[in-house]
Amino acid sequence: MNAKQTSPQSKIAVVTGAGSGIGRAVAVELLRAGWSVALAGRRPETLEETATLVPEGVSLAVRTDVSQPGDVTGLFAATIERFGRVDLLFNNAGTFGPGGVPVEELPYEAWRHVVDTNLNGAFLCAQAAYRQMKEQDPQGGRIINNGSISAHTPRPHSVAYTATKHALTGLTKSLSLDGRPYRIAVGQIDIGNAATDMTQRMQTGALQADGEVRPEPVMDVADVARTVRHMAELPLEANVQFATVLATTMPYVGRG
């Protein structure tokens, strides 16, 4: 765990999966905008790397496996001890699971790992954030769930990932409804082909619904980060319920 001095005026965010990819880009965007950010992830060294990208930023690195209830409890306890409140949870940590495996060959252990990370982990973090946002003064805050284009339309051989991302949409809707009395705004960002390590293979060839393998365009992950920041900085009286940000010419509209 590593902490830097906070400003009493800054808002407080928790970003899961902050050690790489979309989580890192969002954490950096928020830090540069003056937020104080709790960086959560399984590898402390990558969290520290994220923090060093904004040397003047105020951050707290907490090793967290979101699929473990004790880790999630520890993450939010450390955040509250350090910063006193939570204004934003970016529920981002996730895994695609083994790629290219037909449904009949997918091991149960692989299915369970994806569900535990993408769905159960998102629930545990949202529950902890919800409890804190309900109790703190002033009351309220915002939760943004990282969905996916796959929350709408699957890729071939992605049954575990797609099932969890569809379920995440239901989680978003339920949390949004239940949060209304407590000024807890909940939305979801569905992302398509942001340029990260996870999507690197798409530029050389991705399996399409017709069985062909073709390269796909990607977009700068910084554009995702700016969208999340826009959602995060709205007043709690306004909410982006669902946002879709994707590489303009990727095969999504009309996929299949």
Q: Residue 254 domain-assigned?
A: no
How confident is the model at residue 249, as a pLDDT?
87
| Start-to-end Cα distance in the chain | 46
SS3 160: helix
pTM: 0.91
Residue 66's nearest CA partner among 46, 36, 90 is 90
Rounded to an integer, what distance in angstroms lies between the CA atom of residue 29 and that of residue 27? 5
Q: Residue 36 domain-assigned?
A: yes
Q: Residue 253 domain-assigned?
A: no
Catalytic residues: 161
Q: Residue 251 domain-assigned?
A: no
Q: What is the mean pLDDT of each run of 10 residues along the chain (256 residues)?
A: 56 97 97 98 98 97 98 98 98 90 94 97 98 98 95 86 96 98 98 78 72 83 97 98 93 69
Q: 213 lies in which domain range?
A: 2-246
CATH number of the CATH domain containing 236: 3.40.50.720
Instruction: Please give the single-letter amino acid code of residue 5.
Output: Q
Q: Residue 19 domain-assigned?
A: yes
